Amino acid sequence: MKITTIGLDLAKSVFHIVGFDGRHNEVGKRMLRRAQMREYFTQLDGCVVAMEACAGAHYWVRELEKLGHTVKLIPPQPGRVGTMFVPTRNK
- pLDDT tens digits, residue range 46-73? 999 999 988 889 999 999 999 999 999 9
| Residue ranges of domains in the chain | 5-83
pLDDT reported for residue 46? 92
3-state SS, one letter per residue, for 43-65: HCCCCEEEEECCCCHHHHHHHHH
Q: What is the pLDDT of residue 84?
A: 47
CATH fold group of domain 5-83? Nucleotidyltransferase; domain 5 (3.30.420)
Whether 38 has a pLDDT exceeding 60, the answer reads: yes
Q: Region 31-55: what's the mean pLDDT?
A: 92
What pLDDT does residue 17 have? 93
pLDDT (tens digit per residue) in 18-30: 999 988 899 999 9
Contacts within 8 Å (CB) and 24+ apart, 56-65: 56/10, 57/10, 60/8, 60/10, 63/37, 63/38
Crossing angle for the helix pair 34-43 and 57-66, to the nearest 10 degrees: 30
- Evaluate the CA torsion angle 42, 22, 53, 31 in order and state its sign: negative
- Evaluate if residue 78 carries a pLDDT over 80: no
